[in-house]
Structure 1
Amino acid sequence: MKKVLLIIAISISVVACNKTAEVKEVKTAYVDTSVLMKEYTEAKDLEAKYKAQSEEKGRQLEAEINRFKQDAANFQKQAQANGQEWAQRRGAELQKREQQLGYAQQALAQQLQQESGTEMDSLVTGIKKFIKSYGKEKGYAYIYGTGDAASILYAEEKFDITKDIIKALNAKYESETKTENKEATKTATTKEAVEKK
């Protein structure tokens, strides 16, 4: 009887040890966020959009600045010929104009920064949502971020899923863009048909 109890006790302890020894493997990976933002098509498109806007609006402001420089150069030539009173009045006008151009430059930079910041925040939020659903779908317990604001100081390259995320995000963005273009074409075609009637 003692042997049977001893065998049962040993069996129970072996089973208990086996259960505690069973450790579920935790699937983890990381994404290099700086590479992601450089290679994600939507991020590149957003950057190109604001670069083009900056250049276009900058050209308009640059034309104003060039006119101001020309007026300032002419002022120096005309100051001696037109007298001190004219020079003081015209100098004050030029100074005021210079200040206005400075304010315009600052306002333009702030406007572009605010607009691009809003869109970039929306982009980052969308990327986070995508990575979250990607992680759930692929069975990851954790997906870490590395890059500019990294919290991981080292990770094995075999856990890097940056390229997979970029590929999936770009595919999603391209399909959304194609859908938007098709809808815009349908709307334009419908509008043309209505206008012809």
Structure 2
Amino acid sequence: MKKIILIAVVALATISCQQNKIAFVDNTKLINEYQEKIDIEAKYKTKIESFDKRADSIGKVFQAEVQAFQTEAEKLAQSVAQEKYNALMQKRQTMGQQLQMEEQKLSQESQQEIDSLIKKVRSFVKDYSKEKGYTFVLGSNDAGSVLYGEESKDITNDVLKAINDDYKSE
């Protein structure tokens, strides 16, 4: 009987000593301050600026064609002027469709890179948490998954430093 009580006391003491190690990460800060995301945004900002310049240039050339047509249309027969006008409108529609397709492609590429980055960050946090012995790491964000957490339980800066160091070493 004494052995059973001793085993129960030892088991209870062991169980009570095992505490869950819980922390949280500010997802928004982690993603927004991750250097790879900053680099991706810079890359796409450059691509978007280049696209915008090209679109503006194409628009200016087309506008010049429209002005030339307007000047010339007064001297043409109505049927010829209508034919040239229709051709000009067809060209405008085609250019608009091409620019829209390029813009969508750029947007899709950007979204794919961001989605891949988010998966990478989640995987990194999972591995980091296992390595540091956390039982749970919660994500804090604007949606309110963690409404309150002691500052001492916030490991965002530690994870951010580790993931940025990992990115620099790539």
TM-score relative to the length of structure 2: 0.85
* Separation (CA, whole Å) in 2 of partners of 1:122 and 1:38: 14
Tell me whether 1:93 sits opposite 2:67 in the alignment.
no
User: Could you tell me whether the CA contact under 8 Å between 1:33 and 1:146 is conserved in 2?
Assistant: yes
> Displacement, 1:47?
1.0
Q: Greater relative contact order (Cα 8 A, min sep 6): structure 1 or 2?
A: 2
Per the alignment, in what secondary structure is the counterpart of residue 152 of structure 1? Answer: coil
2:66 aligned residue (50, 67, 72): 72
Higher Cα radius of gyration: 1
Query: What is the RMSD of the two structures over their aligned residues, measured on CA atoms?
Result: 2.6
Which is richer in helix? 1
SS of residue paired to 1:143:
strand
Query: 1:94–1:153: structure 2 CA closer, same or farther, 3 Å change rule?
Result: farther
Alpha-carbon offset, residue 118 of structure 1: 2.0
1:19 and 2:33 matched: no
Residue number among 133, 147, 150 corresponding to 1:153 in the alignment: 147
* 1:79 Cα deviation after fit: 1.9
Distance 1:35 1:103, change over 3 A: same
Q: How does 1:1-197 map to 2 (within 5 A)?
A: 8=2, 12=5, 15-16=8-9, 19=12, 22=16, 24-148=18-142, 151-176=145-170
CA distance in 2, matches of 1:118, 1:97: 32
How many angstroms apart in 2 are the aligned matches of 1:148 and 1:90? 55
Gaps in structure 1 of 5+ consecutive residues = 177-197
Take 1:150 and 1:47, find their aligned partners in 2: how far apart are those partners? Answer: 26
User: Shift in Å at residue 49 of structure 1?
Assistant: 0.8
What is the number of equivalent residue pairs in this alignment?
Answer: 169
* TM-score of the superposed pair, with normalisation by structure 1: 0.74
Partner secondary structure for residue 144 of structure 1: strand
* 1:113–1:88 Cα change, 3 Å: same
1:43·1:123 contact (CA, 8 Å) conserved in 2?
A: yes
- The answer to whether the 8 A contact 1:65-1:101 is kept is no
- Counterpart secondary structure, 1:154: coil
Identity %: 37
